[in-house]
Chains A and B, each alone.
Chain A
Amino acid sequence: MSLMALREQLNGLVNSMFLEGLLDDQFEQLQMLQDESSPGFIAELITLFCGDSERILAELTKLLDQAVVDYQKVDAFVHQLKGSSSSVGAQHVKLACVQFRQFCEEHNKEGLKGIYFFRCLRALNVVKHEYYLLRGKFDTMLQLEQRIQAYESKQQI
């Protein structure tokens, strides 16, 4: 595939992510921070985000698997994930976290604890779904960037 075709594919992917709402303005802001003095900024950020998110999702899964759920800890982790997804512009993940936090806050309602537990479980599954959907596209994005950079390096030799 030619360099131009690779660049078109990458631009098409990123544009579709914006159109689908997977990414928001914040990601666009971050793209503007990448330049020749910091060429790997976006890749680095995506890698940090994915590593951190998977750590948090693992913790949340563990917490909701306990006989007695510590909703304060659950809320704290969801808050973290909401923050980092907001910072990278991962809009759908952020919104899923907002919904999840609402269920965490409501869990103590008398007589409805069971229902809210299942809502929290469902909310976690929604967050996971949104995250892994985004991660798949981020993986493709990074692969395309690497191929483009390899192409450009070859051309410079």
Chain B
Amino acid sequence: MSMEEVEEAREEGSHGSMFEGGVEVRVLVVDDSPVDRRVVEGLLKRSGAMFQVIAVDSGKRAMEVLGLTEGKEAEQPTVDDPKIDIILTDYCMPEMTGYDLLKAVKEQSSQKPIPVIIMSSENEPQRISRCRAIGAEDYLLKPLQTNDVLRLRDYVRPKALSPKTGTKRKIAIEMMAENSGSERRPCLAGLAVA
């Protein structure tokens, strides 16, 4: 595909074309760093119109968005009509860490709790293991890049996403990832380290 065709496909995406089914994926980004929040938001929005981003600066605010308070479950059912489709949270935050938030989300009695992805600048096997042990879907190393954002699609519940396959837009997104020019750390999903 030529660069002109990639640019055309990107323009198509940036003008808000939806995936088939017209459903956006609502991502809750939780990070106490304003810089990191903006970077992640930029990555999500740039990858196409499929992500609607809600960014908060603490675990406590995330709990409010999710309708969770300490010791209580969500008042609204999380399976039938979730406000949030996926949570992307930093690990290291003051007061309520990403781990605490992960635990609170997974402790909901809902059969299908919201997928939670942890972000961290530290590549610590024990930390990764702890998070996966209580249900984190993935653990991404910061700084996040385009490839990481594309992987989020894998964790979104099927009803929220009905992607077209083999479209110019999908190729454009993946071309951007390939052209990013940086090597990515290996995927840590499924890695259980003692």
Contact B33 A45 (CB under 8 A): no
Of B39-47, B75-83, B104-112, B162-170, the one with at least 4 CB within 8 A of chain A = B39-47
Contact A87 B45 (CB under 8 A): no
Cβ of B24 under 8 Å from chain A: no
Of A14-22, A25-33, A119-127, A128-136, the one with at least 4 CB within 8 A of chain B = A25-33
Of A25, A28, A35, A48, the residue contacting B14 (CB under 8 A) is A35
Cβ of A110 under 8 Å from chain B: no
Cβ of B126 under 8 Å from chain A: no
Known: A26-B143, A52-B33, A86-B143. A45 touches B182 (CB 8 A): no
Cβ of B9 under 8 Å from chain A: no
Contact A83 B142 (CB under 8 A): yes
Contact B10 A87 (CB under 8 A): no
Query: Which interface class (under 10, 10 to 19, 20 to 34, 35 or more) fits A?
Result: 20 to 34
Contact A33 B43 (CB under 8 A): yes
Q: A83 → chain B, closest Cβ, in Å?
A: 5
Contact B181 A80 (CB under 8 A): no
Chain A hits for B33, CB < 8 A: 52, 80, 83-84, 87
Known: A35-B14, A83-B142. A25 touches B181 (CB 8 A): yes
Contact B42 A33 (CB under 8 A): yes
Contact B181 A52 (CB under 8 A): no
Closest to A37 in B: B14
Cβ of A92 under 8 Å from chain B: no
Q: How many residues of B contact A (CB 8 A)?
A: 25
Q: B48 → chain A, closest Cβ, in Å?
A: 11
Complex CA gap A87/B121 in Å reads 10
Complex CA gap A21/B50 in Å reads 35
Closest to B35 in A: A84
Complex CA gap A33/B15 in Å reads 15
Chain B hits for A38, CB < 8 A: 42, 45-46
Contact B34 A41 (CB under 8 A): no
Interface string of A137-152 (1 = CB under 8 A from B): 0000000000000000
Interface string of B5-18 (1 = CB under 8 A from A): 00000100011000
Cβ of A49 under 8 Å from chain B: yes
Chain A hits for B34, CB < 8 A: 48, 51-52
Q: A66 → chain B, closest Cβ, in Å?
A: 20
Interface string of B90-107 (1 = CB under 8 A from A): 001000000000000000
Interface string of A60-104 (1 = CB under 8 A from B): 000000000000000000011011101111000000000000000
Known: A38-B42, A38-B45. A83 touches B36 (CB 8 A): yes
Known: A33-B42, A33-B46. A28 touches B35 (CB 8 A): no
The interface of chain B, by Cβ under 8 A from chain A, is 10, 14-15, 32-36, 38-39, 42-43, 45-46, 92, 121, 142-143, 145-146, 176, 179-182
